[in-house]
Amino acid sequence: MKSYLALLRGSYMVGLVYRYGFLFNIAGNVLYMSVTYFLWRSIYQGRETLNGLTFDQTYIYVALGSAVFILLKTYVDWQLSFDIREGMIATYLIKPIDLQLYILFTSLGYCLMSLSAITIPTFLLLIFVFHIEIPLGVGLLIFPFSLVLAYLLSFCFDYFVGLLCFYTESIWGLSITKDIIVTVLSGALIPLQFFPDVIQNVLMWLPFQAIYYTPLTMVAQPTLGWETFLPMLGVQLFWVIALFGLTRLFYDQAIKVLRISGG
């Protein structure tokens, strides 16, 4: 475990090198928050609630959603695809490490960098610049745990798509398709309450909503109580265990078709 923690620290330090990239991410996030603020203000004009959500609840969900989206974007699929195409995957396979854990802890370093540089500042902007009141509740208490589970789910999806490169040697189309499906069906763009009831019922059974909708709801509506949030955490934990197991089984099959030429 000590070696994996060293990987986490190393990737975090690498993230510090690319400071200007994070500055542009922060600037883009501030611009997005400003645009969505006035957009949803106009949508809520003359209304106290919409689909059971107040303006503050919707804006917290949407504005924080952009920061969480950056936080949960692992790019593991692209990195793994590159390593497989270039044959660099062989250098990992001869080392006494677990490939999935190696990639996970490496990506966690960049995640912590995004957390400190983007997600936490977004919270502060919501409170001190846009003057949005975030009520205290049990949701805020368990939000960090939900966010960890959401990251693990996002990692599993990206890792699975990356493993497909063993067969396809290119995952550009697959990765774009995956991003569209997850973004739309997870509630990353708008709360699931704005979907028709029939679609909501279907989406709640899928793993996508556990990535964005669950943690964002805990911040936007933190007073809902344990009876609401514990089942949501249970669903997240179930999908994390299931997808980790499935990706490990898929890796055992995908590695059999690996072909590396040259030296």
For 34-64, how does the pLDDT look when each residue is reduced to its tens digit (9 = 90+)?
899 999 999 998 888 888 899 999 999 998 8
Confidence of residue 19 (pLDDT cuts 50, 70, 90): low
AA letter at 167: Y
The Cα–Cα gap between 40 and 103 comes to: 38
pLDDT in tens, 67-118: 888 889 888 999 898 888 888 888 888 888 888 998 998 888 888 888 877 7
pTM of the shown model: 0.91
Residue 260 has pLDDT above 70, yes or no: no
Specify the pLDDT at position 205: 86
Specify the pLDDT at position 259: 72
Rg (CA), the chain: 20
Q: Which is higher by pLDDT, 263 or 12? A: 12
The Cα–Cα gap between 254 and 2 comes to: 28
Residue ranges per domain, the chain?
A: 2-257
Confidence of residue 17 (pLDDT cuts 50, 70, 90): low
The residues near 4 (Cβ < 8 Å, ≥ 6 apart) are 97, 101, 102, 105
Specify the pLDDT at position 169: 79
The residues near 218 (Cβ < 8 Å, ≥ 6 apart) are 139, 140, 142, 143, 146, 229, 232
Q: What is the mean pLDDT of the chain?
A: 87
